[in-house]
């Protein structure tokens, strides 16, 4: 497989079940979902004129739509060459499930890494059996894509951005639709504003859900 890579970096996972886990992020290019609050809109479009070498991706100092095509073996070699110590790989985007991620999962797992995929749930999730799948269901977005039952069923956790009660109502309806109320649910304020955070806290307490506050943004890391 060739994967279009927008970013690769080592950091601390700031969201969901793996908050605090040293992680290597692999951000893939391409996403048709169209979330209005997306903070990685530079990953949406795939233009051939934006293709660059992987060394130039690693050297990025700002967000751009530039990407590099790399196989799973080349990505593993790149991680080793960087000397990164983290053993947890987070595949994100963009929308990573536009790709068949099974070769990527297998390659890294065979080398001793754990894998986590963060997806909108609007594409079939093709990953290894051991991969941890975080579905952040994108409901009624501009792209018009539906959240898939297969994605919700495969999810190890549901992580849902919220700003208003409407977002909470949408999530509850989705969980009921797919009989997924047994899944671990994290609510994540869309912004760091007090109103969104208070809504998430109160809703988590009322429903015995969990809070995800994007720790990396509060402590000022990538």
Q: Output DSSP code: residue 25.
A: E
Two structure tokens written together for 57 = 């991706």
Q: Give the annotated binding-site residues for [4Fe-4S] cluster.
A: 31, 35, 38
151 and 124 Cβ atoms separated by less than 8 Å: yes
Provide the annotated binding site for S-adenosyl-L-methionine.
37-39, 94, 136-138
Binding-site residue positions = 12-14, 27, 31, 35, 37-40, 92, 94, 136-138
Enumerate residues 6+ apart whose C-beta is below 8 A from 125. Answer: 97, 101, 117, 119, 133, 135, 150, 151, 154, 155
Residues whose CB is less than 8 angstroms from the CB of residue 8 and which lie 6 or more positions away in sequence, other chains included: 24, 25, 26, 27, 54, 57, 58, 75, 78, 79, 82
Give the residue from 41, 42, 57 showing the smallest Cα distance to 3: 57
Residue list, annotated binding site for Mg(2+) = 40
């Amino acid at each position: 497989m060739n994967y279009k890579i927008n970013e690769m970096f080592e950091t601390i996972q700031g969201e969901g079940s793996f908050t605090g886990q040293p992680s290597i992020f692999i951000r893939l290019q391409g996403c048709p979902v169209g979330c209005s609050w997306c903070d990685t809109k530079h990953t949406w479009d795939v233009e051939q004129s934006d293709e660059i070498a992987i060394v130039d991706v690693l050297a990025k100092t700002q967000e751009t739509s530039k990407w590099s095509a790399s196989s799973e073996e080349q990505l593993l070699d790149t991680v080793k060459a960087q000397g990164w110590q983290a053993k947890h790989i987070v595949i994100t985007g963009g929308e990573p499930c536009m790709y068949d991620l099974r070769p990527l999962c297998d390659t890294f797992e065979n080398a001793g890494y754990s894998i986590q995929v963060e997806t909108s749930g609007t594409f079939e999730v093709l990953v290894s059996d051991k991969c941890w799948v975080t579905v952040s269901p994108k409901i009624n977005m501009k792209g018009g894509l539906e959240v898939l039952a297969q994605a919700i069923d495969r999810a190890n956790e549901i992580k849902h951005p919220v700003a208003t009660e409407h977002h909470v109502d949408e999530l509850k309806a989705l969980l009921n639709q797919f009989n997924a109320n047994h899944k671990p649910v994290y609510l994540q304020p869309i912004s760091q504003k007090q109103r969104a955070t208070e809504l998430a806290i109160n809703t988590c307490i009322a429903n015995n859900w969990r809070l995800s506050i994007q720790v990396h943004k509060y402590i000022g890391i990538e």
